[in-house]
Amino acid sequence: MPTLNQLLVNKRFKKPVSRRLKSLDQSPQKKGVCVKVFITSPKKPNSANRKVARVRLSNKEFITCSIPGEGHSLQKFSTVLVRGARVRDLPGVKYKAIRGVFDLGPVKDRKRARSIYGTPLAR
C-alpha cells in the first residue's frame, strides 16, 4: 500500500488506449465519403469478390472499409457511416460500413439477421 507522499509524487498510470482503430479517434462510428468503390479477393483458402470502399473520414483520414451484405448502391462521393470491425480474410481492412444509414441502403429481401444489414421489419 503506497503512502500519501508516494501517491503525490508518483502519479497513477492511466490505462493505455487501444490504437488498433486509431482512425476512429476513440469514437464508436465515424462519417465518411467514398473516394473509390472496388472489389478485392480474399486471402488463401477463400475465394470470392469482396466489395470494399476507400473512405475519407470526417477527420481527413483515409481508410479501407468492407461493404457487408449482398448488393449495394455505393459509388464515388457517397456518404457512409463506418464502424470498427476487421474482416479476417481481407488484409488491412479493419472497418465495416453500416447498412441502412446515409447513402448505403439496407439489404433487399433480408429475412434473418436483419438488424445487422439495416433491413426494416416487412409488414
Could you say which architecture CATH assigns to the domain 22-116?
Beta Barrel (2.40)
Is there a contact between 53 and 97 (Cβ–Cβ < 8 Å)?
Answer: yes
- Each residue's pLDDT tens digit in the chain (123 positions)? 888 888 888 877 777 777 778 888 889 999 999 999 999 999 999 999 999 999 999 999 999 999 999 999 999 999 999 999 999 999 999 999 999 999 999 999 899 999 989 988 866
- Residue that is written with C-alpha cell 447498412 in the block: 99
Which residues in 41-108 belong to E strands, given as ranges? Answer: 50-57, 62-66, 79-84, 95-97
Is there a contact between 31 and 7 (Cβ–Cβ < 8 Å)?
Answer: no
pLDDT for res 122: 64
Give Cβ neighbours of residue 98 (< 8 Å, ≥ 6 apart): 29, 80, 81, 82, 83, 104, 118
pLDDT for res 6: 86
Domain spans of the chain, in order of start: 22-116
pLDDT for res 39: 96
Give the chain's mean pLDDT.
Answer: 91
Decide the pairing of beta strands 50-57 and 95-97: unpaired
- Of 102, 61, 105, the C-alpha closest to 84 is 61
pLDDT for res 80: 97
pLDDT for res 1: 82
Cα 55 off chain centre by: 10
